[in-house]
Amino acid sequence: MSEPKNLLGLDRSALQDYFASLGEKAFHARQVLQWVYQRGVTDFSKMTDLRLSLRQTLSECAVISLPEVSRAQHSEDGTRKWLFRLADGNSIETVFIPEEDRGTLCISSQAGCILTCSFCATARQGFSRNLSASEIIGQLLLADQLLKNDGFGSRPISNVVMMGMGEPLLNYDSVVSALRLMLDDLSFGLSRRRVTLSTAGVVPAMDRLAEDCPVSLAVSLHAVRDSVRDELVPLNRKYPIDVLLGACRRFLHKDSRRRITFEYVMLAGVNDSIDDAKMLVSLLQGIPSKVNLIPFNPVQGVKYACADAGVIDRFRNELISSGLTTITRKTRGADIAAACGQLAGDVHDRTHRSARLAGKAS
């Protein structure tokens, strides 16, 4: 017999196709979506509006399989981080950040990361594989259940950011399937403004995303000169800044109500000068945008240091005085290594990058 099919991660269209393959009506997809994502029920026998024979068939040939919790950590500031173990032995990290007006879940898209950004802990772990749609949406479903069990209310997660481990646009199909489930009124029903995908700048996939899935976009810019960004974000050698910003303009052209968030990590003596700020203003001219300045969070083995608070303030004030909406992101979860750039799970590094870096360090 073949392995039971995991229905977790199938969007509405794919789930309808699955029921058609069983000779069943498409409306059963609606029922299952609501049971799983709105009621948190993963046992087919308890899906009481499905007829008994269909429940029995599903119990024999399908599953709703979630990741396992390997470790849960709670920060002093309320941030929570989970290490989720996958079926193949890889483990990924997922972070929940509670605030007064929202609860944001930061989700991973890869076990490790194929990119080699020089300031990021995940990059130092190397890369194992892309996550399936079920493993991506499973982080949201499992975190939702865990938070509800801990008394966070009936809807603890109001915002989702694809900013965890990995480059989402290099796992395009699985990520988009998961995003569609986040937006679908029959599943999580999140607003497109409350679901954000963060990319280092995979330009062809940015163009596809504008057509396929109307979520918010964040771009990890981090530098205003190609020579600097080539070091910080080596993907820049393939898609330099002017090409990346062209893709940003095309993305916005599809919906005039959109604006792009540009993420900019503040590194002492690297990208934090007033000249950098002025050039950033010039680069983003005409692009509806918001800038998130991110104080660099320490990563073992990484040579960079965070810009001083006063330097960050002057940089931010220069952007604001020039008309750019700018905030300095508050560091959350640093005491449990859950802050931006610190996520590092437990991955089977088939790139051998982690071993090479360890050898250099020794």
Beta bridge partners of 290: 261, 325
Which residues are identified as catalytic? 93, 340
Q: Nearest 5 degrees, angle CA 46-CA 48-CA 50?
A: 110
CA 249 to the chain's CA centroid = 22
Measure the CA dihedral 241/243/247/252, to 10°: 60
Nearest-CA neighbor of 248 among 212, 211, 195, 287?
287
Distance CA 29, CA 256 (A): 33
Nearest-CA neighbor of 84 among 76, 96, 75?
96
Distance CA 258, CA 290 (A): 11
Distance CA 255, CA 259 (A): 9
Q: How many residues does the chain have?
A: 362
E strands in the chain: 5-6, 62-63, 68-74, 80-85, 91-98, 103-106, 110-112, 127-130, 159-162, 195-199, 216-220, 260-266, 289-295, 325-328
- Decide if 167 contacts 120 (C-beta within 8 A): no
